[in-house]
Amino acid sequence: MKFGLFADPDTTRYCYLRLRLLKAAVKDAKVLDALVEDLELAGATGRKRMPAIERRIDELRSAKDSLWYDVPALEILAALIFKAGKRTGGAVADLFKPVSQVRDLAAPLAQWLHLAGLTTYSGGVPGIGRANVVGYRDGHVLAGARIVGIEAINNAGVLARALDEMKTSREHTHASYVACTPALAAEFLWDQATASGAAHWDAEALRRRLQACGGGLFVVEGDAVAQAILPKERRPDKAMLSSLATSLATSLHSPSKGDK
């Protein structure tokens, strides 16, 4: 399998799995055994496994009636590894970093916003659409006011609905994102590929839908947050921005329920 000599292993992703982790995955016996079983490669054991997997992937991407026709081999490999996850004893979970609940994404996102010079507000804010994490900076001499809306998501169905709503919603933020794990993004791609009428794997399905509505994507892996897709920058109406800034400033300086 050719991984590319000059591809950045930490920014290059296939089925939203970082290349560095994909390289590690093909050295894991449990992952290879699961792929052999899924691809029905009888007799492929030991050192024969990876060559057999590569040959089968080449066959799949060469067949015009295949879901994988003309899809890059590494994209197919990563997608098949994700699909085989239930039989790997946690190896795939270690790669794609799923979380049990959406609030597990909040702390890494808050840290990213802090490093970007923004104060974090968690919870819905009128005028900022579906965002459940908001980054806010009051205007001052060296930098203007800024509001960033993030919708942290941990369900593929919710992600699909959020993308539909983003097409028609009016965001009063400078930038808006959705945030999810590599596992959730991979699940979304599989849902799109197996939807009624789908005939081809679309590695760009999530990117294209986000870019169509100006949204960006944060991929959260444990404590790490990466901007996988950059959002379109906006210039919110000044009156609305001022109103939102006042609302956020008041909320941030009000006692929380835990302080009462």
Separation of alpha carbons 105 and 193, rounded Å: 26
pLDDT tens across the length of the chain (260 residues):
889 888 999 999 999 999 999 999 999 999 999 999 999 999 899 999 999 999 999 999 999 999 999 999 999 999 999 999 988 878 999 999 999 999 999 999 999 999 999 988 887 666 667 888 989 887 664 567 788 999 999 999 999 999 988 877 666 788 999 999 999 999 999 999 988 677 899 999 999 999 999 999 999 999 999 999 999 998 877 766 677 766 766 665 544 443 33
The burial of 157, by beta-carbon neighbours within 10 Å (0-12 exposed, 13-18 middle, 19 or more buried), is given as: exposed
pLDDT at 259: 36
SS (H, E, C) 78-130: HHHHHHHHHHCCCHHHHHHCCCCCHHHHHHHHHHHHHHCCCEEEECCCCCCCC
Residues 14, 75 contacting (CB under 8 angstroms): yes
pLDDT at 255: 43
Give residue 239's identity as a one-letter amino acid code: A
Query: What's this model's pTM, rounded to 2 decimal places?
Result: 0.89
The burial of 159, by beta-carbon neighbours within 10 Å (0-12 exposed, 13-18 middle, 19 or more buried), is given as: buried
Per-position DSSP letters for the chain, written without gaps between them: ----SSS-TTT-EETTEEHHHHHHHTT-HHHHHHHHHHTT-TT--GGGHHHHHHHHHHHHHH-TTSTTTT--HHHHHHHHHHHGGGGTTTHHHHHH---SSGGGGHHHHHHHHHHTT-EEEES--TTSTT-SEEEEE---SSS--EEEEEEE---HHHHHHHHHHHTT----SSEEEEEE-HHHHHHHHHHHHHSTT--S--TTHHHHHHHHTT-EEEEEETTEEEEEEPPPP----HHHHHHHHHHHHHHHTSPPGGG-
Q: Rounded to a whole number, what is the distance in angstroms from the first to the last CA of the chain?
A: 59
pLDDT at 131: 85
Domain coordinates in residue numbering, the chain: 13-96, 102-252
Q: What is the edge-to-edge ordering of all strands in the sheet holding 224-229? A: 119-122, 133-137, 146-152, 175-180, 216-221, 224-229
Separation of alpha carbons 227 and 94, rounded Å: 20
Radius of gyration of the chain (CA): 21
Residues 6+ apart with CB under 8 A from 64: none
CATH of domain 102-252: 3.40.1350
Separation of alpha carbons 3 and 20, rounded Å: 10
Largest Cα–Cα distance of the chain, in whole Å? 69
